[in-house]
Amino acid sequence: MTDSNSKQTPYQAQLELAKSAALKAGEIIRSYNSVGRTNNSAVVSVKSGVDLVTEADTRVEKVVTEMIKNAFPDDMIVGEEDYASCPSGAQGEHFPKGSIWCVDPIDGTTNFVHNYPFVAVSIGFIHDSIPRVGVVYNPFTDSLYEAAEGSGVGTLLNGNPVRVDSEASSLQDC
């Protein structure tokens, strides 16, 4: 689904895939909020310190990763939970060239675990070390943010341009 105001970006295929994957991820995330569960996670583990990971995180990451691998088998993928097909990002390590996808399956896992609807799936595409596509989707508010280099419209929220209020001088004006 391409907004009528936008033009085809050189990264249209990646943008469409990221949007489809985010929407699919949203279905999975919402499924953990149904069937009368008292929490959204089914299984919660501590990744490190206070950083949580849930069954939903790993399931979403697996589905999104598989969608990317099927469409772009030669691209690298960096996932927050289990999956990384590129270097670890150690200090001094050079960022790889080429096409790289970055996936945060549930950005806001702590909110998710506590049934707060302020979570999102975040999917980014980087080519030659430059971010080219970004999609962020909150399945509880049905808010899909998207941006792609070369689209000519900037950032969209549910297909509509996001604009900065140039007349607001404080938060109270918004």
Q: pLDDT, tens digit, for every residue of 12-31?
A: 999 999 999 999 999 999 98
Token pair recorded at residue 15: 């943008």
More confident position, 88 or 76:
76
Looking at residues 120-126, what average pLDDT do you find?
A: 97
The position carrying tokens 């270097």 is 87
Q: Given strand 130-138, what is the order of strands in its sheet?
A: 76-79, 99-107, 120-127, 130-138, 143-148, 156-157, 160-161
Looking at residues 123-135, what average pLDDT do you find?
A: 96
Confidence (pLDDT) at 163: 85
Task: Report residue 1's pLDDT band, with 50, 70 and 90 as the boundaries.
Answer: very low
Confidence (pLDDT) at 45: 53
Cα-Cα-Cα-Cα torsion 29, 130, 79, 116, nearest 10 degrees, comes to -30
Task: Report residue 54's pLDDT band, with 50, 70 and 90 as the boundaries.
Answer: confident
Phi, psi dihedral angles at 138 (to 5 degrees): -100, 110
More confident position, 132 or 42:
132
